Amino acid sequence: MKRNTKSLLKFFLLSAVTVLITVLIFRIFKSANYIEQAHLVGIIHGAEPEESRHVDHIDNEKIDWHDYERIKRDALRKGPGEQGVPAYLDQKETKNYDELYKVNGFNAALSDKIALDRAVPDIRHSGCKTKKYLKRLPYVSVIVPFHNEHWTTLLRTVVSVINRSPDHLLKEIILVDDASTKPFSKAPLDNYLAANLTKARVIHLPERSGLIRARLAGARQATSDVLIFLDSHTEANVNWLPPLLEPIAQDYKTCVCPFIDVIQYETFQYRSQDEGARGAFDWEFFYKRLPLLPDDLKHPTEPFRYIIKIGSRNTFLYHFHGKG
Ligand SMILES: *[C@@H]1O[C@H](CO)[C@@H](O)[C@H](O)[C@H]1NC(C)=O
């Protein structure tokens, strides 16, 4: 009996020591791991982990960033594709249709008929329309790589970003021409931007480099704290920028991603994709969208915590029609 108690005690003592040591080892490992991760994030975003940047020292004043003048003007716009309504070509306008469709994979002839500064419907969650964001937000450089993008869809990307961004937050738009062969992509584009859209400029890559290297080429020339990567046939919606920038202002290591709406390739109709989803990959690395978790559904105007995005439109430090 006595011996049994003794060995039982010994057993418990041994177990306790084992648990303690395991916890200790785990703690040490975890903190080492954490430091490594923090460094990695710092390197990706070109920031020293210890560096204190102005975006770290924010005051918490929030303001309404909506540009109500522009919203009012946009609401009055009429014409093909305005308000994101499906548009169509007339019989006599269809002569380029097939040729342009083949080259671009969408109805580029119709794009030429739609205004570069068309109005798109504000399809955000109604709670976003009254939401305020930090008054002090970092500046952004928008980087748009392209290869043989059709000229009006490319220019519409630039125009919509300029028109729907607060002027002082948008420092520059850098188009990266990944060795396009369309004549418009060279001097005519340079001249058009220099004459009409002076915030934008083009880097012409001498040889085909692919999406990622084109993005990096743009990033190297960017001069803002925050880089936003966009596709070359996108349109920014109302108040798209502040919701993307606020999480970065609060923690510069944040990588954000927008809601991606849909521009229909045949009619240029503008509509939502869904009410948001979690990005994920399946076992074959195909991108999947999973339903949101109950906690996210309770806060539809707050950022969701998933940053996995489909490759072509992903981003470091960015967001789009914004959550909010
Ligand atoms: C500037 O924009 C106007 C109107 O779209 C266009 O007619 C003109 O050719 C542009 N300027 C240049 C240099 O491309």
- Ligand 1 atom at shortest distance from the alpha carbon of 196: 1
Domain boundaries, given as residue ranges, for the chain: 54-313
Of all protein residues, the one whose alpha carbon is nearest to atom 1 of ligand 1 is 196
How many angstroms is it from 189 CA to the middle of ligand 1? Answer: 10
How many angstroms is it from 192 CA to the middle of ligand 1? Answer: 6
3-state helix/strand/coil string of the chain: CHHHHHHHHHHHHHHHHHHHHHHHHHHHHHHHHHHHHHHHHHHHCCCCCCCCCHHHCCCCCEECCCCHHHHHHHHCCCCCCHHHCCCCCCHHHHHHHHHHHHHHCCCHHHHCCCCCCCCCCCCCCHHHHHCCEECCCCCEEEEEEECCCCHHHHHHHHHHHHHCCCCCCEEEEEEEECCCCCHHHCHHHHHHHHHHCCCEEEEECCCCCCHHHHHHHHHHHCCCCEEEECCCCCCCCCCCHHHHHHHHHHCCCCCCCCCCCEECCCCCCEECCCCCCEEEECCCCCEEEECCCHHHHHCCCCCCCCCCCCHHHCCCCCCCCCCC
**Model pTM?**
0.78
* pLDDT given at position 193: 98
- Ligand 1 neighbours, Cβ below 6 Å, are 191-192, 195-196
Instruction: List pLDDT tens digits, range 193-250.
Output: 999 999 999 999 999 999 999 999 999 999 998 999 999 999 999 999 999 999 999 9
Instruction: List pLDDT tens digits, range 169-203.
Output: 999 999 999 999 999 999 999 999 999 999 999 99
Of all protein residues, the one whose alpha carbon is nearest to atom 6 of ligand 1 is 192
Domain over 54-313 is classified CATH 3.90.550.10: yes
Instruction: List pLDDT tens digits, range 24-44.
Output: 776 765 554 443 333 333 233
- Ligand 1 atom at shortest distance from the alpha carbon of 194: 13
